[in-house]
Structure 1
């Protein structure tokens, strides 16, 4: 079958999707030729670009383990969740508490169909098709209101999500995170990973700019890189969790945020150009 015949209603197989490109980078099969073509175009600019997806997935695991096992969070909203893949948020956090509640959010109809099918047998996990740049579409959604207890802490994840916007929408990510933070109960957490602009004239800065340019020239939704200071501003004053014992709070490259073990070599480009922070609401 062609992509046109297999695409669900409302999906153009001629328009790439960040979620489906990400799926392809992770070795998934829920993507179209346009997504694979975009992936090849990005790989021409940065040969190990697929590693950014794997690095971010490993980060998601570490962040969720911290939130579930150390911080004791039992409710999660995964914004821009993408295609189901191993391991998903609910599979990680429900090891700490089988009744932990998770809501996945993505605007892509293909993601929606796969997400709902996967979650049919998990009563503590829901899927909402919505746009996290429009916070009320999530925060006021009946499923979200019914499923979560808004008197208890909630963790909101924006992992490799907030940088997917157009140049004329640069204020949207900050506005979106502020609305979430304002509405979250005390003791809640926000986790953000984001394409990093080193802003230092290095080869990494040139690589990031080349990636951004390649995406702008393609069919995928645009991407904007941010400096550490600009990523920090997305937390609107939340206290950040230190990235390792004895370190000050701050925005750090993903490889430095509580790694599973010592780094045995120099961080790769993919590990250097994605930055992360995890903040707690007082």
Structure 2
């Protein structure tokens, strides 16, 4: 398919020549909701770090385990998924509603393609919605009619910021953004967050360089900086760890593959 033909069916507000994080992510997962520009970036990322597809699936598996914990063990019934990306499989609402069909989920993403495709996946699901908004604009997110219809912000709510915060440079103050969101949520709410880990790992350095070269984003941070997202909150065991080490359900914890060392994440409760 040529770029010109892609432009014919691109929804309003979408420039097919400009790659987006959500669509590149979709291309890495083998999805169909992407353009030639996105596939080009995906190929360059795979060339730089061949395990990047494994990394994306590792990210999705972590989200699934987190959501299952939030519903089954933490008693949460409301989830706001920031930077949700395009629907694939085992989405947040599917995992949550498998555990409890009354669980409510709102997906948030800046890419205008996400909302219509999510609506198609949701297919009239009364307890899930998708909105187009910039996660950095908390007022627009929390005040969106689709969110206020589903989410009672006076009740404990889980905020997912997994695979998102490393997209924001320090000048956007991602730590302050997390604090603002958690301040707006009541006691008993949860934060699940992650960031790419800065290290001497050559795969980390290659991936960070390629993300910034192709997408103009991708800010890896050290452990102390990632831990600071959870300041004032109570970490859920085992704390801030590499994704495969957080409540593993498919294999015994063991030596990490090099790509598995690239992400740190945790879940924490607002006391």
Is 1:99 aligned to residue 102 of structure 2? yes
Give ranges in structure 1 of 5+ residues lacking alignment: 244-249
**Paired position in structure 2 for 1:228:** 223
TM normalised by structure 1 equals 0.90
1:180 correspondence with 2:175: no
Alignment of 1:230-269 (within 5 A): 230-243=225-238, 250-263=239-252, 266-269=255-258
CA shift in 2, pair 1:221/1:154, >3 Å: farther
Q: How many residues in Structure 1 have an aligned counterpart in Structure 2?
A: 268
Give the TM-score normalised by structure 2.
0.94
Deviations 1:11-50 (A, max 9, x none): 1111111111111111211111111110111112111111
Distance 1:52 1:99 in 2: 31
Shift of the alpha carbon at 1:209?
2.0
Which segments of 5 or more consecutive residues in structure 2 lack a partner in the other structure?
A: none
Separation (CA, whole Å) in 2 of partners of 1:117 and 1:110: 11
For residue 208 of structure 1, give the secondary structure of its aligned residue in structure 2: helix
Contact 1:164–1:221, Cα closer than 8 Å, also in 2: no
Question: Residue 113 of structure 2: SS of its match in structure 1?
Answer: helix
Taking the aligned partners of 1:98 and 1:143, their CA distance within structure 2 comes to 19
Deviates more, 1:208-217 or 1:172-181: 208-217
Counterpart among 259, 271, 275 of residue 264 in structure 2? 275
> Is the partner of 1:234 in helix, strand or coil?
helix
Give the distance between the partners of 1:171 and 1:35, measured in 2 at CA: 24
Shift of 1:221: 4.2
Distance 2:181 2:226 in 1: 16
Query: Cα RMSD between the aligned structures?
Result: 1.5
Q: Deviations over 1:72-117 (max 9, x none)?
A: 1000000011111110111111122211111000010111220122
Match for residue 209 of structure 1 among 205, 209, 216? 205
Tell me, in whole angstroms, the C-alpha distance in 1 between the residues paired with 2:156 and 2:216: 32
Deviation for aligned residue 1:269 = 2.0
Counterpart-to-counterpart distance in 1, 2:131 and 2:17:
24
Distance 1:136 1:256 in 2: 34
Partner of 1:60: 63
Q: Distance in 2 between matches of 1:88 and 1:64?
A: 10
